[in-house]
Structure 1
Amino acid sequence: MSTSPQHPVPARPTPFGEAELRGAVEKLWQAVSRGDEYAAYGVVLGAHGAGADDESLLLDVIGTVQRKVGEEWAANRMSVAMEHAATAVNDRMIAALAARHAPDPALGRPGRVTGQDGPGRITVACVDGEWHALPARLLAEVLRLRGWHVDYLGAQVPTPHLIAHVHRTGPDAVALSSSLATRLPTAHAAITACQAVGVPVLVGGAAFGEDGRYARLLGADAWAPDGRAAADLLARSPLKPPLTGHQPVDDLPHLVDQEYTMVRRDSSRLVKAALAGLEDRFPAVRSYTDRQRQHTAEDLGHIVDFLVVALYMDCEQLFTRFLTWTAGILTARGVPAASLTPTLDVLGTELKEFPRAGRLINHARQALDGSAVPAARSGSGVLR
């Protein structure tokens, strides 16, 4: 049977391979870096029309571009405002893709809640204090594409509100996202609270370490390095209901020494002491404007925050990697990284009665003294 020339059979889209993905990433980056939402929309829709599937667009194109946004900020080639504008454009692209595949309410959704066979229902949220919501949003949309009933709660979800939602909706699992390691104690509380009501927890994000080591230390039921791996993990087998009666100290027995609690309680005083120490070692600091002093105090606050979370996790590498990352950030902005050493000296003096804190500080000092300042990378810290 022949086809009429007036009604040709539509050509099938060309398979979207690695070269096409790289091209889409570059085009989207150009649009996003200009804050050009309409150009970005054209790139995403064009790639979709050329054969790119939604999951690849979400993770391999939009996700890749978002990582580049973070890297450019870290290298001081993108301001905070530019970073926020770029992230907003990427978020709009996710929404545009999601709107094209909105489920029909009349059809219902697969999962335990409806009584149908299927993947089930999952709650996706960022831990309290975590404002970097895009990774969680990407995961939520990928899981929706795979048939899950997803409740996406967004950024900075207080643990009591998360648990109230879990009680109301009865999900099969909770997926928690955190980019900042300083949120690990809060993440631990959220993990434990979800498990206490019988709901298993999958975690992801830079805060949990490149290999998921902190997820394991905190007793999470599962960890995944990215959205695709998380969706694959959940597709292979359901997470088992956790044992109840679990307490945070069961995961981190070193917390009984109270160093974490006492240093955290004393953090404001430590920041003031570190600032005074910098003034003694670098007289130019005394002539800083109020704005400069505020930024310096914020940077010192981040250092103390990472020392506190390293005490919580009892992990030298966590504190050391933040310090070396900070050195790279400061260098990229024309600020002498040498200012970190006297800060550590002051903290060491102030915390001489705390053996674990002293060990963490000494280890970080040796790392700064013995290695070249690394190139700054995104995802490791919080300085702005």
Structure 2
Amino acid sequence: MTAVLGERLESAYPAYLRCLDEADENAAIDLALDLLDNGVAPEDVLLSLVAPAQAQVGEWWQRNEWSVAQEHAATHISERVVAAVASTVRRKPSRDRVVVACMDGEWHSLPARLVAEVLRLDGWEVTFLGASVPAVHLVSYLHRHDLRAVALACSLPMRLPHAARFVDACRRTDVPVLVGGRGFGPGGRWAARLGVPWVPDARAASVALAAMSLPAPATPAGVGDTDVEYAGLLAARVELIDLCVAGIPDVARYTPAQLDATIADLGYIVDSLAAAVYVDDVTLFADFTTWLGEVLGSRNVPLRTVDAAFDLMAERLRDFPRAFRFLRGTRLAPEGS
């Protein structure tokens, strides 16, 4: 029977992708509810249909095969599907209350919503606070309730320094903290650097919540806002962006829209560089620049322009040993181009 249900789910996946491609919300909801009616577990619908489809949507956007509008439409439909599954399958809580939230500035809320719904299906009493919750408001909320834990999502490694401050604020409420998301790196490597428990997915989160009290160790020495080089990068952020805009010849020919996009990309570069310095790990910056190269290359942006930005930043940051080394060791354009 399990094999039959698995085959049903697998065969439904291409149809679900077509629903997203055609922006057919009703068909997507009907497909998901039909799977429930045919015995497929709701958590499997969420984790083996909605989640991988959303990952595929992200890849299509990254390769410039889908526009931002298409990606947003697909995300909205998947959110509606999650809501339909949640309203169809209502289970009385049998476990403690857990808060699931996205950190301030974290707008990718669908992965956290999937975690919240799977935890609810597993018997936890879940409060989902949604995207970009200001730390002061989350802390106030945590003080008001008796909680098993708070689960925080971070999808972008460049947000790690902010995530660390967010985690620290939650720890001061004496509520155990659990984190997840791509922002903490492969295998949660940067969560370990920040001294906070990490889980790879919703099912692992439920197991972790049931098995341990989620201790809150202190942030390891050498990682944090007291790092002089990290603080210096924050202070130089605007200067570095202006330096590149003024110093790269190609930028003078950009349209206003292209200039806005370039300024945003330069900001992401500086933020990722600062995050890499924050956790003292060049792979964070290397992984980001590889991704950026794929995104910009698919949009025919000359990668030599990005390399020129690295050179200008490195020259300005000669007194920042880690940042200088990370920038000098990174090139996106093929040699000789």
Short-chain TM bin: over 0.9
Structure-1 residue corresponding to 2:297: 331
34, 50, 66: which one aligns with 1:46: 34
Letter in 2 for 1:313: V
Q: Distance in 2 between matches of 1:354 and 1:227?
A: 39
Q: Tell me, yes or no, if structure 1 residue 346 matches structure 2 residue 312.
A: yes
- The 2-side partners of 1:15 and 1:353 are apart by 60
Look up the equivalent residue of 1:263 and give its one-letter code.
L
**What CA distance in whole angstroms lies between the structure 1 residues aligned with 2:223 and 2:25?**
49
Q: Structure 1 residues 254, 241: CA separation in 2 closer, same or farther (over 3 Å shift)?
A: closer
Question: What is the CA distance between 1:98 and its match in structure 2?
Answer: 0.6
Q: Displacement, 1:209? A: 0.7
> What fraction of aligned residue pairs are identical, expressed as a percent?
41
Q: Which runs of 5+ in 1 are unaligned?
A: 1-12, 111-118, 372-384
Alignment match of 1:65 (pick from 35, 49, 53): 53
Query: Which has the larger displacement, 50-59 or 256-265?
Result: 256-265
Mapped partners of 1:255, 1:193: distance in 2: 14
Question: Alignment partner for residue 144 of structure 2, among 149, 168, 189?
Answer: 168
Structure 2 unmatched ranges of 5 or more: none
Between structure 1 and structure 2, the one with the greater Rg is 1
**Cα offset, 1:35, TM superposition:** 1.0
Query: What one-letter code is carried by the residue in structure 2 that aligns with 1:68?
Result: Q
Say which SS state the counterpart of residue 43 (structure 1) adopts. Answer: helix
Where do 1:183-194 residues align within 5 Å?
Answer: 183-194=159-170
**Distance across 1 between alignment mates of 2:105 and 2:317:** 27
Q: Tell me, what secondary structure is at the counterpart of 1:151?
A: strand
Whether 2:266 is the aligned partner of 1:296: answer no
Give the counterpart of 2:127 among 129, 144, 151. 151
1:122 Cα deviation after fit: 0.6
Alignment check: 8 A CA contact 1:41 1:93 kept: yes
Say if 2:304 and 2:333, in contact at 8 Å, map to a contact too.
no
Equivalent in the alignment of 1:316: 282
The answer to whether residue 67 in structure 2 is matched with residue 79 in structure 1 is yes
1:254 shift after superposition: 7.1
Distance apart, 1:267 and its partner CA? 0.4
Judged with a 3 Å threshold, the aligned counterparts in structure 2 of structure 1 residues 313 and 370 are, in CA distance, closer, same or farther, namely farther
Matched, 1:214 2:190: yes
Other-structure match for 2:102: 126
Q: After TM superposition, what 4+ stretches of structure 1 lie above 6 angstroms from structure 2?
A: none
Mapping of residues 28-39 of structure 1, within 5 Å? 28-39=16-27
Q: Is the 8 A contact 2:20 2:77 kept in 1?
A: yes
What RMSD in Å do the two structures reach over aligned CA positions? Answer: 1.9
Note the 1:159-308 alignment, pairs <5 A: 159-220=135-196, 222-235=197-210, 237-242=211-216, 246=218, 248=219, 250-253=220-223, 256-279=226-249, 282=250, 285-308=251-274
Q: Counterparts of 2:276 and 2:157 in 1: how far apart (Å)?
A: 9
Structure 1 residue matching 2:151: 3-state secondary structure: strand
Conserved? CA contact 1:33–1:86, under 8 Å:
yes
Per the alignment, do residues 16 and 47 of structure 1 end up closer, same or farther by CA in structure 2, a change over 3 Å counting? farther
Tell me the TM-score normalized by structure 1.
0.83
